[in-house]
Structure 1
Amino acid sequence: MKIVFPVLSLEMGGGARFIYHLANALVDKGHDVEVVMPDKGLQVWPLRAKLKRVKELTPASIPSADFILPNFYLTVKPAFESQKGRVVRLSLGYEPLWVPESEIAKQTYLIGAPIMSISQWHRQLILQETGLQSTVISGGVDFSTFHPYPKTSKQTGYKNIFYIMRDPISGYTWKGGAEFLKAVTRLKDQVNFDLTVSIPENAQFKSPVPCNVKTSNTDQELAHLYAEADLFVYTSYFEAFGLPPLEAMASGTAVVTTDCGGNRDYVQNGENCLSVPPSDIDQLSSAIYYLLTEDTERQRIAASGHSFAQAWTWERTANQVEAFLLSLK
């Protein structure tokens, strides 16, 4: 099949990473995959799919294809108006929850195109807000990159917490960064730990506790940060899926995560992670403290998460997409 992904950019962020992993996995299955992106869009990761640069996304700039998969509300209109292939709305997050043009974003779900969602929670949200059914495809992990490495705590003697701090000024107000900082501030006088923070937007960051600020511009850099940590913490209020906790599990690292919706498809509280309510600083602090201080439990949860994650491959995701697209022909 010829499959086209019109995108605005492939910068840092879960949505862009989902696209590039999915596009590459579909190429590996033998499909003709092309990503169309404006000249000003950034490409952070390597693509095995073809990349077509255009001045801007317009109906004329969209190549002909069997299927066109717009994944963000601003890419739906040029894809639909191009009439150059069957449009399937790939939703990587229900945009009316956070974009300023919420009603315009909602209308992009009401064009009559089939919809792919990325978790059962996400499917239910789209149904609730639009009355439309969607087909769930799952996220995955690249196990050639995300796998265990030696823990830095074996050399330092201090357990290491890893956190990805998204920049609120860039619009990431639902990621729970403020709650995380409050939790670790509480814990700094109760238990010794090292803190490593990655900021994808390279924003200025002031931590109330000592921390190592790292860059993670490639999957390889991110994989090392996950794997070298003893504990990964994730604090989003809502997510359509949420790749980081699953990637941390694959990296052999124990996870504390909020119950943010889309991760319910793979989160098993007390088995492969500890899950706490969003914005609940008391429970978040307690969960972090527990896994920092209970070595046997932390190692058990890390091992369980690593084993569980093995089934969540991008090949599996590509198989799900392929099967759904073929059902539409």
Structure 2
Amino acid sequence: MRILIATNSYPTKKNPTHQIFVKNIHKGLKQKYDEVGLVYNLYYRWFKSDLGTGNALSSLLKLLALIWSFLPQFLYKAKSYDVIYSHGELLPGILIPALQKMHGIKHVCYVHGSANDFSKNKGIYFRLTKYVLEKSDFIVTNSNFMQKVIQSEYGLKSTLITPGYNAELFHLRENERTIDISFAGSAIWKKGVDLILKAQHSNKSFYIQNNLKIHLYTDGALKNRLLNTIHTQNLSDIMIIHERITDDELAALFSKSKIVLFPSREEPLGLIGIEAIASGCIVIAANTGGIKEYIIDGENGFLFEPDNVAELQEKIEYVFNNYSSIKEKFKHSHKTVEAYSIKSGIDQTTDFLNSISADR
């Protein structure tokens, strides 16, 4: 089977943290099939692009670069493939129905999370996404939560395949954990990074008395606001902001972190939480979306209600005050996420692609 992976963003030197799981999928499938192509928006090779930081001009440039990147592939090369495996239900998904009609290629659309965002206001993005999904031959998604969204909001069925974390990087390491609390993710509203600042500001004495520091590895629309808040509220001694880091650096961070905060308001799955558990961290996460599918409160992590700053702080204090006993109780928690590894994801993807090939 010949497969063309189509995605909007992709890890590049300018944007090393973008869609790393797509790169892992591409690498894994190349070991299984003779021909696995890749096409992505070259904008992300040329320009740095953090979530939520764009404007009308950058959006236009991204669209023009997308068309420039995809047109030669779709017009001339795509016809040599059996399956288009797209990651991104709207972009690049909106371009693919025409390709299906031109070349008779099957389209497998992997839905990550945007379909959930678009379903809330039923606007133009929702209608375009619905059109793409209805035209797709098959729909794949990353969690039971997203399967329910696709079924309830779009009236369509989907297949669950984990995107996969890199178990060669994210695994339990026997080394000293010198970082009290860490967070890694985009500085945007739905990731809930502002909740960490609110918790710390309201309970500043707790962090000072216990000499606790929180390290935030983040970039995005809210970063400057976070920096300003830290400065005006005199939190710089206990709250430290860093740039986003690569997967290798993230694995090293998690190997040294005691507690990882994952306060997302919305999360279709949340590979960060899985990677942190696989690395032996104690994860405190919001009870939302796909997160609650792999975190069992009090068993392999802790959950708090989304947007509840008081409960987030309560969980932080509980874990800090009982760290040794919790660490002992959770000593095998890394095994609870092994089913989400990239190996599992590639095996599931291969089985799925082989099954649809047999149906041709």
- TM-score bin, normalised by smaller chain: 0.7 to 0.9
| Cα distance in structure 2, aligned partners of 1:145 and 1:179 | 29
More helix by share: 2
| Cα distance in structure 1, aligned partners of 2:257 and 2:76 | 44
**Which deviates the most, 310-319 or 14-23?**
14-23
Aligned residue among 251, 260, 280 for 2:308 = 280
Quote the offset at 1:162 in angstroms: 0.3
1:48 aligns to what?
A: none
Q: How does 1:99-114 map to 2 (within 5 A)?
A: 101-114=125-138
Aligned residue among 207, 215, 225 for 1:196 = 215
| Cα distance in structure 2, aligned partners of 1:9 and 1:165 | 16
SS at match of 1:225: helix
Q: How does 1:188-227 map to 2 (within 5 A)?
A: 188-191=204-207, 192=210, 193-201=212-220, 203-204=223-224, 205-206=226-227, 207=230, 208=233, 209=235, 210-227=238-255
- Amino acid in structure 2 at the alignment position of 1:258: A
Please say if residues 241 and 262 of structure 1, whose CA atoms lie closer than 8 Å, have aligned partners that are also in contact. Answer: yes
1:250 aligns to what?
A: 278
- Amino acid in structure 2 at the alignment position of 1:320: Q
| Cα distance in structure 1, aligned partners of 2:267 and 2:83 | 26
1:39 aligns to what?
A: 42
Pair 1:146–1:116, CA change in 2 (3 A):
same
Q: How does 1:168-183 map to 2 (within 5 A)?
A: 168=188, 173-183=189-199
Pair 1:312–1:269, CA change in 2 (3 A):
same
Deviation track 1:265-301 (CA, whole Å, cap 9, x = no partner) reads: 3111111100111111121111111111112343135
| Cα distance in structure 2, aligned partners of 1:31 and 1:91 | 25
SS at match of 1:232: strand
- Amino acid in structure 2 at the alignment position of 1:36: V
2:31 aligns to what?
A: 28
2:10 aligns to what?
A: 10
Deviation track 1:298-317 (CA, whole Å, cap 9, x = no partner) reads: 31354232222334321110
- Amino acid in structure 2 at the alignment position of 1:139: P
| Cα distance in structure 2, aligned partners of 1:298 and 1:325 | 42
- Amino acid in structure 2 at the alignment position of 1:317: G
Aligned residue among 314, 319, 322 for 2:347 = 319
2:59 aligns to what?
A: none
Pair 1:104–1:13, CA change in 2 (3 A):
farther
Deviation track 1:149-179 (CA, whole Å, cap 9, x = no partner) reads: 53343xxxxx6110125233xxxx2111222
Deviation track 1:207-263 (CA, whole Å, cap 9, x = no partner) reads: 352323233432111111222111000011221211001100111111001112112
**Which deviates the most, 15-24 or 222-231?**
15-24
SS at match of 1:88: strand
2:75 aligns to what?
A: 60
| Cα distance in structure 2, aligned partners of 1:316 and 1:41 | 28
| Cα distance in structure 1, aligned partners of 2:294 and 2:315 | 19
Residue 122 in 1 paired to residue 137 in 2?
no
Pair 1:43–1:301, CA change in 2 (3 A):
farther
Quote the offset at 1:98 in angstroms: 5.0
1:50 aligns to what?
A: none
Please say if residues 170 and 279 of structure 2, whose CA atoms lie closer than 8 Å, have aligned partners that are also in contact. Answer: yes
| Cα distance in structure 2, aligned partners of 1:145 and 1:182 | 32
- Amino acid in structure 2 at the alignment position of 1:246: I
SS at match of 1:317: helix
2:186 aligns to what?
A: 166
Pair 1:61–1:271, CA change in 2 (3 A):
farther
2:163 aligns to what?
A: 139
Query: If the length of structure 2 is used for normalisation, what is the TM-score?
Result: 0.79
Pair 1:98–1:54, CA change in 2 (3 A):
closer
Pair 1:309–1:301, CA change in 2 (3 A):
farther
SS at match of 1:320: helix
SS at match of 1:146: coil
Pair 1:301–1:111, CA change in 2 (3 A):
farther
Q: How does 1:75-114 map to 2 (within 5 A)?
A: 75-83=92-100, 84=103, 85-95=105-115, 97-98=117-118, 101-114=125-138
**Which deviates the most, 12-21 or 102-111?**
12-21
Which runs of no fewer than 5 residues in structure 1 stay unpaired? 45-52, 154-158
Pair 1:31–1:245, CA change in 2 (3 A):
farther
- Amino acid in structure 2 at the alignment position of 1:213: I
Query: If the length of structure 1 is used for normalisation, what is the TM-score?
Result: 0.85
Which runs of no fewer than 5 residues in structure 2 stay unpaired? 48-65
Residue-pair matches, total: 312
Quote the offset at 1:54 in angstroms: 8.0
RMSD: 2.6
Residue 151 in 1 paired to residue 154 in 2?
no
